[in-house]
Amino acid sequence: MTDQAATQDISRSTSPPASIDQLIADNARALSSQLHTLRARLFPPTAQKELRLFSSAEAARLIGVTDGYLRQLALGGGGPAAERGPGGRRLYSLAQVHELRRFLAKSKPGYIPARVGSEHLQVIAVTNFKGGSGKTTVSTHLAQYLALRGFRVLAIDLDPQASMSALFGYQPEFDIKPNETLYGAIRYDGDRRPLKEIIRPTYFQGLDIVPGNLELHEFEHDTPRMLAEGKKGDGLFFARVAKALTTVDQDYDIVVIDCPPQLGFLTLGALCAATGVLITIHPQMLDVASMSQFLQMTSGLLSVVRKAGGNLQYDFLRYLITRFEPNDGPQAQVVGFLRNLFGDLVLTQAMLKSTAVSEAGLRKQTVYEISRDQINRQTYERAIESLDAVNGEIENLIRKVWGRAAA
């Protein structure tokens, strides 16, 4: 179906509407089917996403060695055999990058960053009830960055809107069946299943996902009902996400949770499971004003949860400036205001606004998935630099919690 045909489909369904619910249902169907077609065109023929190959320079940077060293290694027959790209350039898949790490780790274990000994699982909740503050963009790029760096990562889409799942190539209403979101593992009734069964691998080797869809919203309905009936199920609502995560603790180094834009029971569950919290802020005065309400409400709710026995021991909490335009005077002022107020709680690095994010988004991709020849080179470089700087700062927070030196 062409884009034009789809548009006609949608407009055809508007006349004559039997009722408003019918009209909306028709529009939903038309949109869903068109999205399905678009996806099939973007990722033919199996409609599955695949991760691109990385140049030898990129692979070297991810591993933390020089390009020259990788070349020597390749010449000496060490590590996996790279593919040859245009001009004989060596290209590595992410699986091969991991293989190289394992090869190098034989003489220096530090090349594999997985946690050891008493280093505990890091669960990072990316939150703010302000819609559009950059939660999904931040959490998806963070999860992918950490996987590229060699950590074992689980990304959880806790938002019924499922934007993170969409970035990973899933169309929530098509690809995610009942009981295939985190709801399946935290629900109160007998249909609850082990989280392990729900987790899916992604095309980023080392990064798994628990996708989301509208079903997650059920938790917001079930919980007040359980509370009203004075039932706990098999554990209090705020402990359910944490409890599910304990069953997969050994499989991961870091869990990244993309929270919904509301302070409901799902978000509270994520905050109780978290060891680290990132609050995303788009630096505009109106957004900051609403954040003040978010902080007040969060603090009130968390104190209730704490008194009820909830675990709220954070290794860190940080504010992250998102979609930042340094040349925008008012934005720079708001950032200055926040830094004065919150000091070191505001991450030094800000996520810059970039068309690379939106251009990649059009193809349901992140900046880490596109390559430098797909968009304007300078735009690409600037975006990658900003993302790596933000994510690198977060990686170092995690390393510090584990008692390691900065990367």
Ligand X SMILES: Nc1ncnc2c1ncn2[C@@H]1O[C@H](COP(=O)(O)OP(=O)(O)OP(=O)(O)O)[C@@H](O)[C@H]1O
The contact set with ligand X (CB under 6 A) reads: 131-137, 159, 161, 163, 261, 322-323, 351, 353-354, 357-358, 361
Min separation Cβ 98 and ligand X, Å: 27
Binding partner of residue 357 among ligand X, Mg ion, none, CB under 5 to 8 Å per kind? ligand X
Q: Does 163 bind Mg ion (CB under 5 A)?
A: yes
Which CB atom, from 56 or from 140, has the smaller least distance to ligand X? Answer: 140
Round to whole Å and give the CA distance between 381 and 383.
5
Min separation Cβ 218 and ligand X, Å: 19
Interstrand relation of 90-92 and 276-281 (parallel, antiparallel or unpaired): unpaired
Give 284: exposed, middle or buried? Use CB within 10 Å, 0-12, 13-18, 19+: middle
Binding partner of residue 134 among Mg ion, ligand X, none, CB under 5 to 8 Å per kind? ligand X
Min separation Cβ 151 and ligand X, Å: 22
Round to whole Å and give the CA distance between 346 and 4.
46
Min separation Cβ 264 and ligand X, Å: 13
Q: Which two tokens stand for residue 322?
A: 């998102």
Give 287: exposed, middle or buried? Use CB within 10 Å, 0-12, 13-18, 19+: buried
Binding partner of residue 132 among Mg ion, ligand X, none, CB under 5 to 8 Å per kind? ligand X
Min separation Cβ 202 and ligand X, Å: 18
Which CB atom, from 35 or from 114, has the smaller least distance to Mg ion? Answer: 35
Q: Of 136-144, 180-188, 205-213, 229-237, which part binds Mg ion (CB under 5 A)?
A: 136-144
Question: Distances from the Cα of 378 to the Cαs of 271, 354, 366, in angstroms?
Answer: 38, 11, 17
Which CB atom, from 60 or from 281, has the smaller least distance to ligand X? Answer: 281
Round to whole Å and give the CA distance between 321 and 142.
14
**Interface pick for Mg ion out of 136, 140, 213, 322 (rule CB under 5 A):** 136
Q: Is residue 124 within 8 Å of residue 280, measured between CB atoms?
A: no
Interstrand relation of 153-157 and 254-258 (parallel, antiparallel or unpaired): parallel
Round to whole Å and give the CA distance between 82 and 96.
8
Min separation Cβ 287 and ligand X, Å: 10
Binding partner of residue 391 among ligand X, Mg ion, none, CB under 5 to 8 Å per kind? none
Which CB atom, from 58 or from 369, has the smaller least distance to Mg ion? Answer: 369
Min separation Cβ 134 and ligand X, Å: 4
Min separation Cβ 144 and Mg ion, Å: 15
Q: Does 135 bind Mg ion (CB under 5 A)?
A: yes
Which CB atom, from 223 or from 366, has the smaller least distance to ligand X? Answer: 366
Question: What are the start-end ranges of the E strands in 147-265?
Answer: 153-157, 200-201, 207-210, 254-258
Angle of the 20-42 helix axis to the 3-12 helix axis, nearest 10? 170
Q: Does 96 bind Mg ion (CB under 5 A)?
A: no
Which CB atom, from 135 or from 282, has the smaller least distance to Mg ion? Answer: 135
Question: Distances from the Cα of 57 to the Cαs of 60, 99, 146, in angstroms?
Answer: 5, 16, 18
Which CB atom, from 132 or from 233, has the smaller least distance to Mg ion? Answer: 132
Which CB atom, from 59 or from 356, has the smaller least distance to ligand X? Answer: 356
Min separation Cβ 281 and Mg ion, Å: 14
Q: Of 59-67, 135-143, 149-157, 194-202, which part binds Mg ion (CB under 5 A)?
A: 135-143
Question: Distances from the Cα of 43 to the Cαs of 48, 136, 311, in angstroms?
Answer: 6, 22, 43
Q: Is residue 142 within 8 Å of residue 204, measured between CB atoms?
A: no
Round to whole Å and give the CA distance between 236 and 52.
43
Q: Is residue 105 within 8 Å of residue 111, measured between CB atoms?
A: yes
Which CB atom, from 135 or from 353, has the smaller least distance to Mg ion? Answer: 135
List contacts with Mg ion (CB under 5 A). 135-136, 163
